[in-house]
Amino acid sequence: MGNLIWIFVSAALVSNFTLALFLGLCPFLGVSGKVETGLRMGAANIFVMVLTALSVWVLNTFILTAAPYLRIIAFIIVIASLVQIVEMAIKKLSPALFRALGIYLPLITTNCAILGLAIFQTNRGYGLLEGLAFALGGGVGLTIALVLMASIRETLELADVPDFAQNMGLVLILAGALSLAFMGFAGLFSAA
Amino acid sequence: MRKPTPPSQELIKGIWRENPVLVQLLGLCPTLAVTNTVKNSLAMSAATTFVLIGSSLLVSSIKKLVPTEVRISTYILIIATFVTIADMVLEATVPDVHKELGAFVALIVVNCIILGRQEAFASKNSVGRSLLDAVGMSIGFTAALTVMGTVRELLGAGTFLGHSVFGPHYEPWVIMVLPPGGFFTLGCLLLVFSWVKRRSAARATTTAAPVAAREAA
Is B179 in contact with B64 (CB distance < 8 Å)? no
Is B27 in contact with B137 (CB distance < 8 Å)? no
* Residue of B107, B178, B190 with shortest CB distance to A183: B178
* Residue of A20, A169, A180 with shortest CB distance to B187: A169
Instruction: Give chain B positions within 8 Å (CB) of A161.
Output: none
Digit-coded pLDDT (tens) for A135-183: 999 999 999 999 999 999 888 888 888 877 777 888 889 999 999 998 8
| Cβ neighbours of residue A12 closer than 8 Å, sequence gap 6 or more | A137, A138, A140, A141, A144
Q: What does the domain layout of chain A look like in residue ranges?
A: 26-180
| Cβ neighbours of residue A90 closer than 8 Å, sequence gap 6 or more | A97, A98, A101, A105
Digit-coded pLDDT (tens) for B167-217: 788 888 888 888 899 999 999 988 888 888 888 888 865 554 555 555 555
A116 touches chain B (CB under 8 A): yes
* Model confidence band, residue A192 (pLDDT cutoffs 50, 70, 90): very low
Residue B63, classed as helix, strand or coil, is coil
Cα–Cα distance between B40 and B45 in angstroms, integer? 8
Q: Name the residue in chain B with its Cα closest to that of A109.
A: B110
Reference B185, options A11, A145, A155, A179; nearest CA is A179
A161 touches chain B (CB under 8 A): no
How many residue pairs bridge chain A and chain B with CB atoms within 8 Å of each other?
Answer: 115
Digit-coded pLDDT (tens) for B20-34: 888 888 888 888 888
Burial grade of A175 (CB within 10 A; 0-12, 13-18, 19 or more): buried
- Cβ neighbours, 10 Å, residue A101: 23
Reference B83, options A135, A112, A37, A9; nearest CA is A112
* Residue of A163, A167, A172 with shortest CB distance to B183: A172
* Contact flag A19-B102 (C-beta cutoff 8 Å): no
Cβ under 8 Å to B: A residues 28-47: 29
Q: Which pLDDT score is estimated for B211? A: 54
Q: Alpha helices of chain B — where are they, by DSSP H?
A: 7-13, 28-33, 38-61, 71-93, 95-101, 112-117, 127-157, 179-203, 208-216
* Contact flag B109-A115 (C-beta cutoff 8 Å): yes
C-alpha separations of B192 from A9, A26, A45, B32 in Å: 37, 22, 33, 17
Q: Name the residue in chain B with its Cα closest to that of A118.
A: B103
Q: Which pLDDT score is estimated for B1? A: 43
Q: Which pLDDT score is estimated for B212? A: 52
Digit-coded pLDDT (tens) for B124-161: 899 999 999 999 999 999 999 999 999 999 998 888 88
Digit-coded pLDDT (tens) for A12-51: 888 888 888 888 887 788 777 788 888 888 888 888 899 9
Q: Is the pLDDT of residue B83 over 70?
A: yes
The residue count for chain A = 192
